[in-house]
Chains A and B, each alone.
Chain A
Amino acid sequence: MRRFAALLYKDFLLLVRDKAGLALLYLMPLVLVALMAYLQNDTFKAILENKLPVAVQNLDKGEVGDAICKSLEKVQLFSIDQLADSVPIKDVERRVANGDYQMALIIPEGLSEQLQNCVAQSIQHTFNDSIPAPVIASSKVTLLTDPTTKNSFMATLSSSLNEQITTMQTDLMLQEISLQVAQLSPMPIGEIKLPGKVVEVEQRVAQLNTDRLIPNATQHNVPAWGLFAIFFIVVSLAGNIIKEREEGSFLRLLAMPCSFTLYLISKVAVYLVICLTQVLLMAAVGCWLFPLLGLPALSLGTCWSGLLMVSVSAALAAIGFGVAIGQLARTSQQASVFGAISVVIMAALGGVWIPQFVMPKFMQIVSMCSPMNWGLSAYYNLLLRGSGWEGIWWQCLLLLTFGAVCFFVGRGKERRL
C-alpha cells in the first residue's frame, strides 16, 4: 500500500507540475465546448426560428382570400408580409427576383365570388336540369418563387393553398346543398356541416420519457466534447509514460520492488480522477454557464449512476488506449503526434464534431467503430431518450473491452523486453 501511495503521489505531482499539460486537459475542452455549442446553437436557431419571407397580395377580399391568408400565417416556416392592393404585379415579381421574398402569392380579385357562383350553379344544376351547368372559367392564384427556394418549401406552400381551396370548396358545396334540400324538404332542416377534422396526423419526437427536451446544441456538445476531453488524456498519459522511460526513472522502478502492473494501476487511478473531474467541469459548464451565455441549459436526466458508469467506462477506454500508445511509441514526439491525431480522428468519426445523424449513411456505419461514438450514444440514451442502465450497458461493455484490450497490448509489450 505504501508503494502504491508513493506512485500515486508521484503521478499526481508530475501532473500538477505540468501547467501547460493541465491547461490542455481542462481549458481546451471547455473552450471547445463553449465555442462549438454557441456556433451550433446559431445553426439550430437558423433552422428552427428563421422564417422564409413570403409576400401575399390579397386582391380577393372575400372568404377564400382571407382563409388562405390565415392558413399561411399558421405555417411556422413562413413570415407573411401583406402587400397593398396598389402594388403592381411587376413590382411584386421584381421583389421576389431580388430576393426580398422567397415567394409571393397573388390572390386574384373576385376569387371568392367566382368560386361561390360556380359551386352554387353546379349544385343547382344537379337538383334542377333546367338550370344550365356552369361554365368553368378557372381563376388563377399566382405563386412567384425565388430561383433558390427549396422544393420542400414550395411544396409546403402549395399544399397549404390546395388544402384551403379544397376546404372552402367543400364548405360552399355543403352550404348550397343544405339550401337546395331545404327548398325541397317539407320539414325545415339546418345547414349540413362536417364535425371538424375526423382524422388528424400527430407528429412528435420519439422519446421514452416525453418530459425530456429534444436534442439541442448543449445536449450534443457537452457530452461530445466531454468525451473528447476524456480521450485527450491519451496525449498526456502516453507522453508521461515515454518521458519516464526516456529519463531512465522507469527502468529504475522496474529494478525496484515495484511491479509493472502496480505502476500502471497508479496511472489508471490518477487519470481516472482527471477524466471524472473533466466530465464534472463540462457538466457544470453546461448546467450553469451556458444559460448565462444564452445557450440552452444542460438537463442531466435522472439516471446519475448511469452517467457515472458511462464516464468511468469512457475514461478506462481512454486510459487503456493511452497506455498502449505509451508502450508502443518509441519517442514522446511519436506518442504526442499519434495520440493527438488518433483522438481527433476518433472524434470526427464518432460524431463529436458533426452529429452522427447528419453524416452520410456509409459514414454513419463507419462511425460505429469509434469508441467516442459508443460513449456518445450512451450519453444520448441517458440525456435525451431518458433510458436507464438498459440503454447503456452495451456501450459500456464495448468501451471497457476496448480499454482492457489496449491495456493488455501495452502490458504485453513490456513483457517482451
Chain B
Amino acid sequence: MSKDLAIEISHLFKTYRDADRPAVNDLSLSVEQGDFFGLLGANGAGKTTTLSILCGLIKSSSGEVRLFDKDVNTQLKEIKPMIGVVPQEYALYPELTALENLQFFGGVYGLEKKQIAEQIEGMTDILQVKDLLNKRIARMSGGEKRRFNLMAGLLHRPKLLFLDEPTVGIDVKSQQIIIDFLRELNREGMTIIYTSHLMAEAETLCNHVAVMVQGRKLCDGCPSALVAEAGVANLHELCLNLMK
C-alpha cells in the first residue's frame, strides 16, 4: 500500500433502503496526497454518496475505504481530525453571526481561542469577508455564506478537504475568490476532493478526475489525458459522450 495515497477505495458499494439500484456501484479508485481530485458527474451520479462515505457520514454496503492508510469504518476517530468537510448546503447556523459560527466550529475541533482567532484573521483577508464577521448568516448573500461555509471546514487546517459543489449558485466574484483560495490551499499541499457537475471549472482546477454515471466510475485520470484519449474538445464533451 502506497504511503503517498490520501484515499484508497476498492469495490465500494452503497445501496439505500428501498432503492432499485446501488447509488455507488463497485467503485475503486485512489487519490494521491496533494492531488486536486474532481469527482464529476450529473445529478444523481453518486458523487455526494461517495463523499459521505469517505467522510464517515454514512456506511457503505460493502467494499473498503482507507484514508491516509486508516480504515474509515474502524478508525474514523483518528481520521476525523485530519479531514475538513464543506457540504453543499450552507451548513452554518443562520441565527448566529459568522464569527460565532466559526468560534463554535473551531471549538468543536478542539482549537484554542487564540488559534481560532488566528485562522479567522488569515482566511477573512483572503476571502474578503472581514467586514461581515459580526453579521448574522441569515442576512448574508449566497456568495458570502459559501465563503464562510468554506472557512468553517478549514479552521483546523486539515490534510484532506472534501468539497461538495462549493461554487454552486453563487455570483461570479465569489466563485473566483473561492477558486483562487482553493488553488492556494492545494499549492500549500492540501489534498482536495471536489465534487461538481461544472465540467469547465473542474478542468481548470483538478489534476485528477473521475467521472461517475449512475453510481459507476466510467473513467479516471488526468483531465487533459482523458480528453485527448477520447478525442473530444473538453471534459464537458467527454462527460456527455459517457452519459449517452
Contact = CB atoms under 8 A, between A and B. Distances in A.
Interface string B142-180: 000000000011000000001000000000000000000
B129 to A, nearest CB: 18
A413 interface: no
Interface in B66-112: 77, 80-81, 83, 85, 87-96, 100, 103-112
B226 to A, nearest CB: 30
A174 B139 CA distance: 97
Contacts of B94: 247
Contacts of B59: 417
A13 B92 CA distance: 13
Contact of A255 (B83, B89, B111): B83
Interface string A248-267: 11011111111000000000
A257 B93 contact: no
A18 B80 CA distance: 31
A210 to B, nearest CB: 53
Contacts of B140: none
Interface residues of A, number: 24
Contacts of A10: 93, 96, 100, 104
Contacts of A252: 85, 87, 91, 105, 152-153
A9 interface: yes
Interface in B36-53: none
Nearest to A3: B108
A254 B79 CA distance: 12
Contacts of B85: 251-252, 255-256
Contact of B100 (A7, A13, A256): A13
A298 B94 CA distance: 42
A84 B85 CA distance: 95
A417 B57 contact: yes
Contacts of B80: 255-257
B100 A249 contact: no
Contact of B58 (A18, A257, A417): A417
Q: How large is the interface on B (under 10, 10 to 19, 20 to 34, 35 or more residues)?
A: 20 to 34
Contact of A251 (B91, B105, B111, B112): B91
Interface centre among A2, A249, A253 (most CB of B within 10 A): A249
B107 A257 contact: no
A2 to B, nearest CB: 5
B221 interface: no
Nearest to B136: A17
Given A9-B104, A256-B108, A249 B58 contact: no
A244 B109 CA distance: 18
Nearest to B17: A416
A338 B233 CA distance: 55
A337 B22 CA distance: 35
B93 A247 contact: yes
B104 to A, nearest CB: 5
A257 B87 CA distance: 16
A205 interface: no
A18 B85 CA distance: 28
A237 to B, nearest CB: 16
15 contacts: A3-B108, A5-B107, A6-B104, A13-B100, A247-B93, A248-B89, A248-B91, A251-B85, A251-B87, A252-B152, A254-B57, A255-B83, A255-B85, A256-B108, A257-B110
Interface of A: 2-3, 5-7, 9-10, 13-14, 17-18, 244, 247-249, 251-258, 417
Given A10-B100, A244-B93, A256-B85, 17 more contacts: A2-B110, A2-B112, A3-B107, A6-B107, A7-B107, A14-B93, A14-B95, A14-B96, A247-B90, A249-B93, A251-B89, A252-B87, A252-B152, A255-B56, A257-B81, A257-B109, A257-B110
